[in-house]
Amino acid sequence: MNYTGVFPILATPFNEDGSIDLDSFDRLVGFMGDLGVDGITILGVLGESNRMLDKERESLIARAVAVTKGRTRVIVGASHPGTQAAIGLCRMAEDLGADAVMIAPSAEPVPNEGRVFEYFQKVAAAVTIPIVAQDHPASTQVHMSVPLLLRLIAEIPGIACIKEEAPPTPVRIAALKQGMQARRVPLLTGLGALYGFFDLMAGADGFNTGFAFPEVLMAIERAARGGDQDECYRLYAKYLPLIVFEQQPGVAVRKELLRMRGLLRSAHVRHPGAAIGETAARQLREIVERVLPGVDITRPIQA
C-alpha cells in the first residue's frame, strides 16, 4: 500500500436509540469510494471506537470490507491500552480483510518511550498487515519524541506510515522528513486539516482526518503535489472557517455536518458524548452558507 493522498476518518453512524445504523454506514463508505479517496479509516477517534463493543467492531469492519469490494482500502483503528488486547483487535481486523490497522500508544503512570517502542514492536510482530502509527497526544496523553518516531520507522518494518498530529505539526513533519535515512515512510497529517496547508508545505504526503468534505482535501493535496502553492493556499483559506469550526472538542459538529450532507440519518453521539447544541447547529448552517452559498452539499462539491 502507498500511504499518500487522502484517507478520510469515518464517523460511526448511530440510530437515536444508540444502536449502529448500518444503512448510513454503507452510504458513507460508498460515498467515499465514489469520490475516489485513497482509502478510508474506520474506528478512529471520530468513529467513537472507545464506545464500541467487540461484536460491533467486528460488524463494522466486515461491512466496510464488503461494501468497498477491494475498490477502496480499509484501515481499522485498533488501539488499546493493553498490548495483548491491541494485538487481538489487530488480528480481528486482519482476519476480516482489512488492509491495514492504525494504532496509538496509551499513557502510563510513568512515561517510558522504551515501553512505547515495545508496544509497536509487539503488535507489528503479531500481524502481517501494515501499521499506521498515530501520534495524537490530544487523545492519548502520550508525547512521542521525534527520535522515538524515527526509531519506529527504522526498526519496525511493519510500520508503513506515520500519522502526525502532535503540534507544532509542520515542525515535526519537517524534522521527520529530514531524519528518515535508511528507510522512508509517508507522513499523513490529521487534526481535521487544521494545519493542512502548512503541513503539506513542510512535506506531509496527504491527509488522514475526518473533515466532512474530503473532496476538498483531495483538491488541496492535488495542488500541493503539483507544486501549485497558490492554489493550495487558496483552497485552504476558503474552507478554513469550516475546518476551524469542525475542530471543536468532541465529534458532534462533524456528525451534524455529515447529516446535513445526507450521509448520516442521525447525528447521534453515543453517551457520554454530547450531541450538537442548538446554537452550534445554527452557527454551522450559517458557516456552510457563507463558505458554499447556494451549493447542494448532499452532492460532491467542486472545490
Q: What is the mean pLDDT of residues 231-247?
A: 97
pLDDT tens-digit map of 49-104: 999 999 999 999 999 999 999 999 999 999 999 999 999 999 999 999 999 999 99
Percentage of the chain beyond pLDDT 90 is: 99
Q: Does the pLDDT of residue 44 top 90, yes or no?
A: yes
Q: Does the pLDDT of residue 2 top 90, yes or no?
A: no
Can you list the alpha helix ranges (DSSP code H) found in 17-145? 22-35, 54-68, 83-95, 113-126, 137-140
Task: Classify residue 192 by its DSSP letter.
Answer: G
Q: Is residue 299 part of a domain?
A: no
pTM for the whole structure: 0.96
The grid cell for 181 is 535515512
The dihedral built from the CA positions of residue 222, 225, 228 and 233, taken in this order, carries a sign that is: positive
Q: Is residue 303 part of a domain?
A: no
Catalytic residue status for 238: no
The dihedral built from the CA positions of residue 25, 67, 73 and 84, taken in this order, carries a sign that is: positive
Q: Does the pLDDT of residue 299 top 90, yes or no?
A: yes
Question: What is the distance between the alpha carbons of residues 192 and 239, in angstroms, rounded to a whole number?
Answer: 12
Q: Is residue 297 part of a domain?
A: no
Active-site entry in 55, 163, 177, 255 = 163
Q: Is residue 302 part of a domain?
A: no
Its domain, for residue 170, covers: 5-291
Q: Is residue 300 part of a domain?
A: no
Where residue 86 sits, what CATH number does that domain have? 3.20.20.70
pLDDT tens-digit map of 140-178: 999 999 999 999 999 999 999 999 999 999 999 999 999
Q: What is the mean pLDDT of residues 110-136?
A: 97
> How many Å from the N-terminal Cα to the C-terminal Cα in the chain?
27
Q: What pLDDT score does 209 carry?
A: 97
Q: Does the pLDDT of residue 218 top 80, yes or no?
A: yes
Q: Is residue 42 part of a domain?
A: yes
Q: What pLDDT score does 119 carry?
A: 97
**Domain count of the fold of the chain:** 1
In the sheet that holds 100-103, the strands lie side by side as 5-6, 206-207, 187-189, 159-164, 131-135, 100-103, 74-77, 40-42
The dihedral built from the CA positions of residue 278, 283, 286 and 288, taken in this order, carries a sign that is: negative
